Structure 1
Amino acid sequence: MSDTPTTSAPAADTARVEREARRDDRPGRLALLRSSTGHNLGLIVALGLLCVVGVITAGDRFADIDNAMTILRLAAVIGVVSIGMTFVITGGGIDLSVGAIVALSSVWCTTIATQTMANDNHWLVMVGAAVLVGGGCGLVNGLLIAYGGVVPFIATLAMLASARGLAEIISERRTQIVSVPAFSDAFAKEPLGIPIIVWIFILVSAIGWVLLNRTTFGRRTLAVGGNPEAARLAGIDVKRHTVLLYVLVGVCCGIAAIMLVSRTTTGSSTHGLLYELDAIAAVVIGGTLLSGGRGTIIGTVLGVLIFTTLSNVFALNNLSVSAQSVVKGLIIVVAVLLQQRLARRSDVT
């Protein structure tokens, strides 16, 4: 009789400890699901399901290798823009002018003067012109925001109107045809059967991942986006870093412009329409917080592929662009709502 309490007490304590361990493990599992790894796995599953829908509804037309290359070509251009947008949003900003900067860069690098210089010297002159114009526009945005105190939304909205207008003035609203054979030949190559512009997208994505996750620049971007005042007190030059972020997205726009010019063999003031919406959408569903402080390059790439594949499935099934826009809008809203919900749970735990 006297031995019963002494033998049952350890068993009761063991059961209690196990219950507490299981209870403590649940937040850990939730944290794993909320992590970038869990989010990326969810995006991969979503992309896979979308491909299944494409095969079911469009059959061999979707599963064909040429269609896959078409998806990758379309994803490559907006993908490079989205990589730059990831840095800006992670740093707590926003850029509504990326589409207009792409248009201006494409027009500038295909003017008669630029193409003449490219024919006389090297086709890289066109590349340099596009990148410099894109970086210059980003520099103006960054200076206005960081040192001029202009809200990012307003500054980039003004750049959107100005860059698009300047592109129309320079091109006289005409499509400019590429007449540099060396440029066309260089971008017509397909190493390992993959178009050059897809390789550029892969390279930019890889550089972006290293820059965000393995460098001081990336850590400072996360710090500035998470808490600018704390970043300033930690010794980070927040204003200078903000300028660099907008220059970075501008350079990405210049690279995207060259890719678009090589794919269409034209420069036009109509290039890049609604690129800002597509880029922001890809970044948001990829898992980057709109409020800043957290970003993921892999998530952005998956987001771009999801939206591009969705557009391809709609096109193959002869569904309207309007319906496609509605679906994209719903996806963005759901992604933002999920972000907010997970953020609240993180605060609670």
Structure 2
Amino acid sequence: MSTVVQSGSTAASSHAPKRSTRRLTDIKYRYPGRYLAAWAALALLIVAALIVAPASLKGDSVWVVTALAGTLALASMGQMLIIMLGAIDLSVPAILAAVAGIIVHYGGDGANVPLVLVAAVAMAVVISTVNGILISVLGLNSLIVTLATFGIVTGLISYSTGVSFSLTGQAPQALQDFAQLSIFRVNACFLVAVVLAALLAGVLHLTRAGRRVAEVGSNPRAARALGVRVTRVRLSSFAAAGLLYGLSGVLLSGFVGTPDSTVGVPYQLATVTAVGIAGGIFAGGPASVASVVVACIFLQLLDQALAILGLSAGARTIVQGAALVIAVAAITVGTVGASSVRRFTRLLRSKS
């Protein structure tokens, strides 16, 4: 009897390392190393800021950073969905400006503010969906389409509402009160972004429809061969991106208070940079929502620290562009290097 027990325990112990190995493999598959770049960058930045610009981590600075990180995170999550499909959206600034224009122009005294906000977000969804139709149905290049959309929408908004959108140029006071709300120095915009990020991550990882976004982006032909309705997935992703752009525009308008037609200009580069730092694959494929949010915090904290140190807006934009190049290069080199090491190791094992 004792022999049987010992053999059983030996078998159980032999299976334990296998289960542990499988769990580690699953974790590495779900959370590859490229997703850690944003987290590492933020940790290093916090340490550096504590040394050279401690004011960026105190008081009202935290409120500003979390507010702008929240609005950027919403827009970047929309950009992430587009990049997961293997495209890039350059129309983000125009969509944000259009949302702000509708809110300011039609949300004055006596207006039905909730209806105006819904209309503004709906327009963002429509614009992004039109982009999706031109790109996914007609097969046009995403850069050309979204750049054209940027020009057309910006021109229409400026022509119809003017640069300041209205005589007062102010967003509704109720929206300002909410978007400027502070909870323990953390802005409400950031809290909204975190909640929506959790919902988006759940949809992308736990639902069949969500998982198909990465499948279509990685290999649309294989996805179509497996019965996935590729065009429907793409159009749904563009519509969802438009929804996120719209919400970002709403909160950004409320936080700024007096937005104009240039309110979304920084987001053309910033959203792409955030997804790049977060480990997004620009050729299409899976991405990490959490890493995108962390990348947005990194970018806004970096901008705030540099502003405190006296750098101009132009210099800070240069740093932002450099951060994108460095992040993409590091992720690419790391991925290629890891693949080369694995191939070399397998070659040595096969010869031994």
* TM > 0.5: yes
Amino acid at match of 2:339: S
User: Does residue 140 in structure 1 map to residue 130 in structure 2?
Assistant: yes
Would the alpha carbon gap of residues 183 and 294 (structure 1) be closer, same or farther in structure 2, given more than 3 Å must change? closer
The separation in 2 between residues aligned to 1:93 and 1:144, in whole angstroms, is 12
Give, in angstroms, the shift of residue 29 of structure 1.
9.2
| Equivalent residue number for residue 204 of structure 2 | 212
User: Does residue 53 in structure 1 map to residue 48 in structure 2?
Assistant: yes
Would the alpha carbon gap of residues 240 and 329 (structure 1) be closer, same or farther in structure 2, given more than 3 Å must change? same
For structure 1, the 5+ residue unaligned runs are 1-24
Amino acid at match of 2:142: P
User: Does residue 129 in structure 1 map to residue 119 in structure 2?
Assistant: yes
Amino acid at match of 1:141: N
After TM superposition, the score normalised by the length of structure 1 is 0.83
The separation in 2 between residues aligned to 1:90 and 1:46, in whole angstroms, is 22
Q: What CA RMSD, in Å, does the superposition of the two structures yield over aligned residues?
A: 2.6
The separation in 2 between residues aligned to 1:34 and 1:330, in whole angstroms, is 29
The separation in 1 between residues aligned to 2:323 and 2:260, in whole angstroms, is 30
After TM superposition, the score normalised by the length of structure 2 is 0.83
Would the alpha carbon gap of residues 120 and 313 (structure 1) be closer, same or farther in structure 2, given more than 3 Å must change? closer
Aligned length: 319
Secondary structure of the equivalent of 1:86? helix
| Equivalent residue number for residue 154 of structure 1 | 144
Would the alpha carbon gap of residues 195 and 126 (structure 1) be closer, same or farther in structure 2, given more than 3 Å must change? farther
Give, in angstroms, the shift of residue 314 of structure 1.
0.4
Give, in angstroms, the shift of residue 145 of structure 1.
0.7
User: Does residue 87 in structure 1 map to residue 81 in structure 2?
Assistant: yes
Would the alpha carbon gap of residues 181 and 311 (structure 1) be closer, same or farther in structure 2, given more than 3 Å must change? closer
The separation in 2 between residues aligned to 1:163 and 1:265, in whole angstroms, is 22
Equivalent runs, 1:170-185 vs 2, <5 Å: 170-176=160-166, 177-178=169-170, 180-185=172-177
For structure 2, the 5+ residue unaligned runs are 1-20, 344-352
Secondary structure of the equivalent of 1:150? coil
Equivalent runs, 1:2-13 vs 2, <5 Å: none
Would the alpha carbon gap of residues 64 and 71 (structure 1) be closer, same or farther in structure 2, given more than 3 Å must change? same
User: Does residue 119 in structure 1 map to residue 114 in structure 2?
Assistant: no
Would the alpha carbon gap of residues 35 and 191 (structure 1) be closer, same or farther in structure 2, given more than 3 Å must change? same
Match of 1:76 among 70, 75, 91: 70
Percent identity over the alignment is 27
Give, in angstroms, the shift of residue 149 of structure 1.
1.6
The separation in 2 between residues aligned to 1:79 and 1:217, in whole angstroms, is 22
Return the index of the structure with the highest Cα Rg: 1
Do the aligned residues in 2 keep the contact of 1:98 with 1:160 (CA within 8 Å)? yes
| Equivalent residue number for residue 276 of structure 1 | 268
Match of 1:257 among 242, 249, 255: 249
Secondary structure of the equivalent of 1:268? coil
Do the aligned residues in 1 keep the contact of 2:124 with 2:246 (CA within 8 Å)? yes
